[in-house]
């Protein structure tokens, strides 16, 4: 079986989760039309990898501005208590995958999209 893979090298819209998810949708639709079966995004694409962000922290202190910056980053993270996961699952089902295993999709989403909730692994009996 041949597999056509797209490796996305793009930037999110920092501190704008909805705009970033819309960008994900646009990119997925574009590469799906080109016949890609797997589309790989950078680590923490939602909300964006925080390289270079100090969030106002130095050893022993954090500024009020840094706290607010971190709160903004957190509030724009992938959130399993909203429709974020369903939105991406639907996008995948419609444009890339023919069948999505919900458990594995949830795990991938949690580990790849900067999820705000911890991943709890359970062994299947």
How many other CB atoms sit within 10 Å of the CB of residue 23? 19
The reply to whether 90 falls in a domain is yes
Low-confidence ranges of the chain (pLDDT < 50): 98-125
**27 in any annotated domain:** yes
pLDDT at 83: 92
Residue 105 lies in domain: 5-49+58-112
pLDDT of residue 1: 74
Helix (H) or strand (E) holding 10: none
Q: What's the number of domains the chain is made of?
A: 1
With respect to residue 125, please indicate whether it lies within any of the assigned structural domains.
no
Pick from 111, 102, 104, 87: which is nearest to 28 by CA?
A: 87
| Any domain includes 21 | yes
Within-domain flag for 103 = yes
Q: What was the pLDDT predicted at 64? A: 94
Residue 121: inside a domain: no
Selection from 90, 84, 2, 80 nearest residue 38 by Cα = 2
Instruction: Identify whether 105 is part of a domain.
Output: yes
Q: What is the pLDDT of residue 104?
A: 44
Largest CA distance in the chain: 55
Q: Are 48 and 14 in contact (CB under 8 A)?
A: yes
pTM: 0.68
Q: Which of 93, 92, 99, 95 is nearest to 35 (CA)?
A: 95
Beta-strand pair 5-7/38-40: parallel
Q: Residue 97: what pLDDT?
A: 61
pLDDT of residue 120: 38
b/e sequence 36-72, b meaning 16+ C-beta within 10 Å: beebebeebbbbbeeeeeebeeeeeeeeeebeebbee
């Amino acid at each position: 079986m041949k597999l056509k893979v797209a490796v996305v090298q793009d930037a999110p819209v920092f501190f704008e989760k909805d705009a970033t998810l819309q960008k994900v949708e646009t990119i997925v639709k574009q590469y799906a039309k080109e016949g890609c079966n797997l589309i790989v995004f950078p680590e923490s694409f939602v909300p964006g990898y925080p390289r270079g962000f100090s969030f106002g922290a130095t050893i022993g202190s954090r500024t009020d501005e840094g706290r607010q910056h971190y709160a903004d980053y957190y509030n724009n993270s992938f959130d399993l208590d909203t429709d974020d996961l369903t939105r991406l699952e639907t996008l995948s089902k419609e444009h890339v995958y023919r069948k999505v295993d919900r458990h594995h999709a949830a795990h991938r989403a949690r580990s790849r999209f900067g999820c705000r909730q911890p991943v709890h692994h359970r062994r299947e009996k």
